Amino acid sequence: MLTKRQNLLETIRGGHPDRFVNQWEAFAMVAGDPITAKNPRPTVKGGPDVTDGWGVVRRFPPNVPAAFPLHDPAHKVVNDITKWKEVVKGPTFDYAEGAWDNILAQAAKVDRNEQFLSMLVTPGIFEQVHYLTGIDDCLMYFYEEPEALHELIDYIVDWKLQYAQLVCDIVKPEVIIHHDDWGSQLNSFMSPDMFAEFIVPGFKKIYGYYKSHGVELIVHHSDSYAANLVPYMIEMGIDIWQGVMTTNNTPELIKKYGGQITFMGDIDNGVVDREDWSLEVIRREVERACTNCGKLYFIPNTTMGGANSLYTGVYETVTAEIDRMSKVMF
């Protein structure tokens, strides 16, 4: 029987996996570096607002699934992107002696024959911009202030490259799981041409740096429609697109791009991860995804950006159903 790590490599390389890669099982996550700690976010519904190292204020109301930045004029960091240099400053890269000890201790415990030593990086380039500006103004700036937007993106990319250098030098991860949502359920937030101009160059630098400094795989999370951006994902160096919603027509993407990139998802959280969730619905969705998408270049997974669910028991039930389908199909 292949290890979880070996089975994932067989799957994404078109080899001979002996079962489905079951959601996030192949990735041993470590966390708690001192630079990420400078970007806290609320974790308790209804708790106090939290300001991160970029000056972004987040709130976690009791009736929503996650915290998000406040973008009223009093809280928004960038109200005029032409003056972004006056208000935007990324977190510093200083840290106390021993500040990396905890994450290094986690890394030392990872069995690298069984799993990949993995780190999560969030937010991405696009998300960092709209955290600072607000999503509506951000999208308008692509048209109205492209020069200033390019400058802000370059600043964010430079910051991320400095962070990448620390991570690769100190932790030495084998997988980077990077978040950056690029669309709604139905379409990308910007045209492919605009995406190629503003977003692709920065990620090519970031992902290129990681891969040239010991990172074996790039997993990119975007739980959205982004089928029209897949050629650029491949150009960026993404190995696995995680969060692929069914609106992308995952089986068609696998037929077209399998061998160049792997697709992880096709089990929409909006369908299975609900207050009224049921085994019947989860079983139906997992069976559909596994049957339609096949054994290669596909990892069945909910579209959530991590090994969890909004409602207790959903992730574990999906995992059990994927195991069942492995017994059926392999």
User: What is the predicted pLDDT for the residue at 274?
Assistant: 94
DSSP secondary structure letters along 100-145? THHHHHHHHT--TTTSEEEEEE-S-HHHHHHHHH-HHHHHHHHHH-
Name 235's Cβ contacts closer than 8 Å, sequence gap at least 6.
Answer: 200, 204
pLDDT tens for 201-224 read: 999 999 999 999 999 999 999 999
Q: Please name the amino acid found at residue 265.
A: G
pLDDT tens for 81-99 read: 999 999 999 999 999 999 9
* 95 vs 280: CA distance, rounded Å: 50
pLDDT at 198 over 90: yes
Question: Pairing relation of β-strands 175-179 and 116-121?
Answer: parallel
pLDDT above 90 covers what percent of the chain? Answer: 96
Name 194's Cβ contacts closer than 8 Å, sequence gap at least 6.
Answer: 142
User: What is the predicted pLDDT for the residue at 66?
Assistant: 84
Among the listed residues 6, 220, 31, 217, the one whose alpha carbon sits nearest the alpha carbon of residue 107? 31
Q: Tell me the three state secondary structure of residue 291.
A: helix
Average model confidence (pLDDT) across the chain: 97
Question: 205 is written with which tokens?
Answer: 């630098």
How far is Cα of residue 188 from the mean position of the Cα atoms in its chain?
A: 16
pLDDT tens for 250-294 read: 999 999 999 999 999 999 999 999 999 999 999 999 999 999 999
Cα separations (Å) of 205 from 117, 210, 222?
22, 9, 19
Q: What are phi and psi of 285, to 5 degrees?
A: -70, -40
**Residue 186 near residue 247, CB atoms below 8 Å:** yes
User: What is the predicted pLDDT for the residue at 310?
Assistant: 92
pLDDT at 79 over 90: yes
pLDDT tens for 14-69 read: 999 999 999 999 999 999 999 999 999 898 889 999 999 999 999 999 888 889 89
pLDDT tens for 150-173 read: 999 999 999 999 999 999 999 999
SS (H, E, C) 246-286: HHHCHHHHHHHHCCCCEEEEEECHHHHCCCCCCHHHHHHHH
Half-sphere exposure of 262 (CA within 13 A, CB side): 25
Average confidence (pLDDT) over 195-200: 98
Confidence of residue 318 (pLDDT cuts 50, 70, 90): very high
Question: Pairing relation of β-strands 68-69 and 27-29?
Answer: unpaired
